[in-house]
Amino acid sequence: MDYRGGGSNPKGHREPGGNHQRRHHHFPSVVVKITILVAVVGLTRLALHQSGCHTQRVSKQQRNPSPPSATAMLPDVPSSLHKLRSKDVYGIDDENKLKKTLKRAVMKDHKTVIITTVNAAWTEPNSIFDLFMESFRIGNQTQSLLKHLVVVALDQKAYSRCLNAHPHCFALTTAGVDFSGQAFFMTGDYLKMMWRRIDFLRSVLEMGYNFIFSDADIMWLRDPFSRFYPDGDFQIACDTYKNDPTDLRNLPNGGFTYVKSNNRTIQFYKFWYNGKDYFPGIHDQDVFNKIKFNPFIVEIRLGIRFLDTAYFGGFCQPSKDLDLVVTMHANCCLGLENKIHDIKMVIEDWKRYLGLMAVTGQKNLSNGSWTAPWRCGMKTSKN
């Protein structure tokens, strides 16, 4: 903090008359000057003491950071972030385009859209986006869900490619940031992309839409709606599931979420997005793991449910029964080529399973096994 001392510059006393008058005014003048000097010194010492205490507190907090309490964060989160609207994420024209896109894609019965995000690297021919779209076409009762899918392109090249493949595309570009290349895990561009996504999804909630968000490296093999919990405002897939959908110790993965639009989820997404400033340089998923224990979550009565990996599996913890699997995520995998290779194996495993089912009419002929992951080792970092 910048402390600026204030000085006094009193006018000199003009003492008329003789020596008696000068002696008469000299003593009070000295007392006044001494009093002012003592006051200035005292205020300076107090300011330096407070500055030192403030520095010590900041240094201590930097050495031992801890998640802020609900009472500490509440003044910042609701008061400042409640003012945000979708126009803060993009311009008014783009906001209107998004509203039109969502309106065309929405499921009329429960006002839900499916959303994914892609960049140029993920929309290359025979890349992640092609495999993502193929999974809908070969999944069990998933082909009809494509008409409710909104593809959010993070750069112009991805947007152009989306328009050639799908009717519901939206360009979410960021001035001064190029998201077109492969964003390696936990790099600066990767983190910007993830937080951009969180803020965008908050704006979708504010427009009154429920959504399923799905990373494009998730294969949709069955319709997920029957596996969602009726009482969950915010439902999220897991890297590791602990057999209890309400256990906050579950290790979630933000690549797949089902979120209902209401005041609780809107407040939560603002709270979550605000976490990037309290925990700088941290992945949005890791921030969620910190704030999920925060009393603020209880205060807003947010219903959090963790999705069972028996249905919503991934390379971290594969769903073992192909008769139950809903989605398969190429998580715990680094490198775009590795993801593509092993996702293709998932597609082939699923086609083989469907072929055996068609021939015999029986289930469990695959013995519940996947050939993937192969290149995506189980010890690689989560992605």
The mean per-residue pLDDT over the stretch 255-275 comes to 96
Question: Dihedral through CA 334, CA 336, CA 340, CA 343, nearest 10?
Answer: 40
pLDDT, position 198: 93
The single-letter DSSP state of residue 381 is P
Does residue 334 lie in a domain region?
A: no
pLDDT, position 94: 83
The predicted-structure confidence for 202-238, as pLDDT tens digits, reads as follows 999 999 999 999 999 999 999 999 999 999 999 999 9
Does residue 33 lie in a domain region?
A: no
Does residue 82 lie in a domain region?
A: yes
The mean per-residue pLDDT over the stretch 309-317 comes to 96
pLDDT, position 362: 65
Does residue 211 lie in a domain region?
A: yes
For 18, other C-beta atoms within 10 Å of its C-beta total: 8
Name the percent of the chain lying above pLDDT 70: 67
The predicted-structure confidence for 154-200, as pLDDT tens digits, reads as follows 889 999 999 999 999 999 876 555 555 454 444 456 677 778 889 99
Considering its fold, how many domains does the chain have in total? 1
pLDDT, position 190: 64
pLDDT, position 292: 94
Read out DSSP for 87-120? GGTS-HHHHHHHHHHHHHH-BTTTTEEEEEEE-G
Tell whether the model's pLDDT for residue 4 goes beyond 90. Answer: no
pLDDT, position 62: 36
**Which comes out higher in pLDDT, residue 361 or 371?**
371
pLDDT, position 111: 96
pLDDT, position 195: 81
Does residue 90 lie in a domain region?
A: yes
The predicted-structure confidence for 41-84, as pLDDT tens digits, reads as follows 454 444 444 444 444 433 333 333 344 443 344 334 443 433 44
- Residue ranges making up the domain that contains 83: 77-309
Tell whether the model's pLDDT for residue 40 goes beyond 60. Answer: no
Does residue 333 lie in a domain region?
A: no
Sign for the pseudo-dihedral over CA of 307, 309, 312, 315: positive
Does residue 144 lie in a domain region?
A: yes
Helices vs strands, H then E, count in the chain: 10, 10
Q: How distant is the alpha carbon of residue 36 from its chain centre?
A: 55
Does residue 62 lie in a domain region?
A: no
On the 0-12 / 13-18 / 19+ scale of CB atoms within 10 A, 154 is: buried
> Which CATH number fits the domain that encloses residue 157?
3.90.550
Tell whether the model's pLDDT for residue 358 goes beyond 90. Answer: no
Give the separation between CA 381 and CA 138, rounded to whole angstroms.
Answer: 29
Q: Which of 108-122, 177-191, 250-264 has the lowest mean pLDDT?
A: 177-191
Q: b/e string for 41-73 if b means 16 or more Cβ within 10 A?
A: eeeeeeeeeeeeeeeeeeeeeeeeeebbebeeb
Sign for the pseudo-dihedral over CA of 91, 92, 94, 98: positive
pLDDT, position 173: 73
